[in-house]
Amino acid sequence: MAISVQVIPGWNELTEREKEVVWQLAEGKSTAEIASQLFISTKTVGNHKTNISSKLNVSGGPGSLIRFIFKNKVDILSTKQQL
């Protein structure tokens, strides 16, 4: 079942794995923690973060994605609870 998050343009363009990365970032986890939890390399997490930024139209460097996620944290985490 696809969950639509209308308040976050581009959300439905994310893959399930990218959403997992976003949810973990919203929970305050580091790149290394995410890599360990998802059994992927830190490079792969970085690639996911780049793709997420592109799909959500977030620009401005590495900190911009984190700021965007924390600004939209309630909406982002609510999608996880609906699964």
Q: Where are the domains of the chain?
A: 15-81
Alpha-carbon distance of 75 to 73, in angstroms, equals: 6
Cβ–Cβ under 8 Å, residues 42 and 35? yes
**46 burial via Cβ count (<10 Å: 0-12, 13-18, 19+):** middle
CA dihedral 23, 15, 80, 75 (to 10 degrees): 70
Q: What is the pTM of this model?
A: 0.85
Phi, psi of 17 (to 5 degrees): -65, -40
Average pLDDT over residues 8-17: 93
DSSP 13: G
pLDDT in tens, 16-54: 999 999 999 999 999 999 999 999 999 999 999 999 999
- pLDDT-derived band at 74 (thresholds 50, 70, 90) equals confident
Q: Which CATH number fits domain 15-81: 1.10.10.10, 1.10.760.10, 3.40.718.10, 3.40.47.10?
A: 1.10.10.10
